[in-house]
């Protein structure tokens, strides 16, 4: 069970209403026990081992070339060495591996009094020490003598420190992003444990339980940590990966694979957005192998988040209304409703999930955005004006008009800031399908006293807006810049300054449209003509997640539901011909994405 055979690559591709991860088998090696995957950025390669096959393997993700070095003992783990080459936890020894010469040089040995022990999993700490643990070799398939293993660290000076013993099967190791916590798995405890970690000395203390696996989750094996500090745990005989929040002790996501013996995992790829998974074929009979032909191979998930069919992310089309340009979604917690607009059809909608009832108010101009008003009713960015909407009386009352000198512009997206101001931007009206004059738009704020401030102009298509959790940063999208931008934001005055790029979209991501922010400060950006929503870390400028939908014209998104854990996504059908609509029968619908493992924050209401 500590002996599992292969690595996998997981690629997210949300399809139909059940979307999610596409799992690709990238190395078909039939490893007896694939283990210890680690990404080598310099070589664009995945390093891993076959424990009982006694091999160290390196797979180049660009050339797809696989190279192997055979060694003379079971190899529990291999890690890169800063000065070149690799370090192995092999048999009962730490050793250097010279890849070019294919020579192994012993550094130090452990467990001298236990002839039947061997190293299992290992990993390097943030200070460069190599941690690895031991276990007893199997007496017969799946049977080991218990409490024979220990955890060791190979220091930079080649000395070895023993941290503790009485281990059954030493497995997954990793450290928190702040390096203060060491996470560890002894597989037969069926638990993930945490220790306080002193990075300077390498000492561990204060062991406690983080997560106890349930029966169907099987046996915890290897693990890795993501940029948000969440743990990914491979479950041997469970055919799945669990994403665990070590702060709360909750499982927040499950990824199932087409094989049972999942052994370990690591992130890799050019921006570490791909998850590679090793697996095993040890102790599998012919019938088992026939049913799981990809066992003992390597798979990966690319730009993944969850495997829908396995019960994590679920994408459901909750309204199949074929809106022309669905936009401006906002959750109304008090009513338990989703507020949104259809820009070109000039309608404002309110959908009640409980009753599935849709209410509509038709207005006399294109409606770019609709937001709740704190004192009741709504505020619209409609045509070239800000206006109040009395829903019950279906009455629209003008507040202020903008751009009096320009007849060919209209409002597009808008949102309320944390102080209750309504910000919305404009764009030129199309002269013919898909064509409009550029640089005609501007960004405005409707103040709580009903005055209007113009922030800047020369905008092409004013789109997604939101604010950081501390209210000090304003995020903004001018779609044809193909970027998400940030400004310093003065909440007291509403002034913006110091514009800079947060994220530049890649060609296949298409056109950035609406956006929202989650409770972890990450941005969710809908990509028009890209059929996806991107999750972006504005601090690092990295895309950390992609949710693909079964339609191409995704327009905007917001969080909602009773605890803001549902992501609602609006879409469009404008300029789609019959053939396109036949291929995308859910185009123009509104989608609900659940199981993301993250929540949003309540929207703000206009205070004027």
For residues 281, 283, 284, 285, the Cα torsion angle rounded to the nearest 10 degrees is 140
How would you list the strands of the sheet with 93-98, edge to edge? 75-80, 86-90, 93-98, 103-109
Phi, psi of 300, deg, nearest 5: -145, 155
* Contact call for residues 137 and 117 (beta carbons, < 8 A): yes
In angstroms, the CA 264 to CA 220 distance is 9
Q: What phi-psi label fits residue 59: left (phi over 0), alpha (psi between -120 and 50 degrees) or beta?
A: beta
What are the residues whose beta carbons fall under 8 Å from the beta carbon of 560, sequence distance 6 or more? 329, 331, 338, 566, 568, 600
Tell me the Cα Rg of the chain. 27
Structural tokens at position 217: 């989750």
At 596, which helix (H) or strand (E)? none
In degrees and rounded to multiples of 5, residue 286 shows phi and psi of: -60, -40
**Would you tell me how many other CB atoms lie within 10 Å of the CB of residue 70?**
11
327 is in an annotated binding site: yes
408 is in an annotated binding site: no
Question: How many Å apart are CA 206 and CA 216, to the nearest integer?
Answer: 29
Q: Round to whole Å and give the CA distance between 238 and 254.
A: 11
186 annotated to bind ligand: no
Q: Is 393 annotated as a binding residue?
A: no
Place of tokens 């929207």: 603
> Catalytic residues, which ones?
513
CA angle 42, 45, 46 (to 5 degrees): 130
Determine whether the annotation assigns residue 438 to a binding site.
no
Q: Is 498 annotated as a binding residue?
A: no
Closest CA to 554 of 573, 540, 535, 541: 573
Render 406-427 in DSSP notation, one character per residue.
Answer: -SSEEEEEEEE-TTS-EEEEEE
Known binding positions for a divalent metal cation: 327, 463, 513
Known binding positions: 327, 410, 412, 430, 463, 513
Known binding positions for substrate: 410, 412, 430
């Amino acid at each position: 069970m500590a002996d599992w055979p292969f690595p996998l690559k997981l690629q997210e591709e949300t399809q139909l209403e059940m979307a999610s991860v596409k799992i690709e088998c990238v190395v078909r090696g039939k490893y007896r026990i694939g283990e210890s995957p680690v990404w080598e950025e310099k070589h664009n390669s995945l390093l891993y081992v076959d424990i009982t096959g006694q091999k160290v393997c390196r797979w180049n993700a660009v050339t797809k070339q696989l190279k192997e070095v055979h060694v003379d003992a079971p190899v529990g783990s291999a890690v890169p060495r800063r000065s070149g080459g690799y370090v192995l936890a092999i048999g009962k020894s730490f050793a250097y591996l010279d890849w070019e010469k294919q020579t192994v040089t012993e550094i130090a040995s452990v467990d001298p009094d236990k002839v039947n022990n061997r190293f299992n999993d290992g990993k390097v700490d943030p200070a460069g020490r190599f941690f690895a643990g031991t276990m007893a070799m199997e007496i017969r398939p799946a049977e080991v003598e218990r409490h024979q293993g220990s955890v060791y660290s190979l220091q930079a000076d080649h000395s070895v420190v023993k941290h503790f013993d009485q281990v059954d099967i030493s497995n997954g190791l990793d450290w928190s992003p702040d390096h203060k916590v060491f996470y560890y798995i002894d597989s037969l405890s069926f638990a993930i444990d945490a220790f306080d970690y002193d990075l300077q000395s390498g000492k561990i203390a204060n062991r406690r339980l983080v997560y106890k696996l349930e029966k169907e989750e099987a046996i915890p094996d290897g693990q890795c940590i993501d940029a948000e500090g969440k743990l990914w745990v491979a479950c041997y005989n469970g055919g799945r990966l669990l994403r665990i929040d070590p702060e709360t002790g909750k499982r927040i996501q499950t990824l199932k694979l087409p094989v049972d013996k999942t052994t370990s995992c690591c992130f890799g790829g050019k921006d570490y957005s791909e998850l590679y998974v090793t697996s095993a074929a040890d102790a599998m009979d012919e019938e088992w192998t026939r049913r799981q032909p990809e066992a003992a191979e390597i798979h990966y998930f690319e730009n993944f988040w969850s495997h829908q069919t396995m019960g994590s992310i679920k994408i459901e089309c909750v309204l199949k209304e074929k809106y022309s340009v669905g936009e401006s979604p906002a959750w109304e917690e008090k009513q338990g409703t989703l507020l949104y607009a259809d820009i070109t059809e000039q309608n404002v909608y309110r959908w009640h999930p409980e009753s599935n009832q849709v209410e509509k108010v038709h207005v006399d101009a294109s409606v770019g955005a609709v937001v709740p008003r704190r004192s009741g009713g709504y505020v619209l960015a409609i045509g070239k004006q800000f206006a109040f909407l009395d829903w019950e009386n279906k009455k629209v009352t003008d507040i202020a008009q903008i751009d009096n000198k320009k007849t060919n512009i209209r409002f597009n997206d808008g949102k309320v800031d944390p102080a209750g101001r309504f910000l919305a931007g404009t764009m030129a009206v199309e002269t013919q399908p898909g064509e409009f004059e550029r640089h005609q738009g501007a960004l405005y704020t409707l103040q709580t006293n009903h005055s209007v401030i113009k922030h800047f102009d020369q905008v092409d298509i004013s789109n997604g807006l939101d604010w950081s959790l501390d209210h000090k940063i304003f995020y903004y999208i001018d779609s044809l810049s193909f970027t998400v931008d940030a400004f310093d934001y003065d909440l007291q005055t509403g002034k913006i300054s110091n514009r800079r790029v947060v994220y530049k979209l890649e060609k296949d991501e298409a056109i950035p449209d609406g956006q929202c922010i989650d409770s972890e400060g990450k941005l969710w950006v809908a990509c028009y003509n890209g059929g996806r929503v991107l999750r972006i870390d504005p601090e690092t400028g990295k895309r950390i997640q992609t949710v693909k939908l079964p339609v191409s014209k995704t327009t905007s998104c917001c969080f909602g539901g009773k605890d803001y854990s549902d992501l609602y996504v609006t879409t469009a059908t404008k300029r789609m011909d019959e053939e396109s609509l036949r291929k995308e029968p859910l185009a123009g619908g509104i989608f609900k994405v659940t199981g993301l493992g993250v929540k949003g924050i309540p929207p703000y209401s206009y205070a004027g």
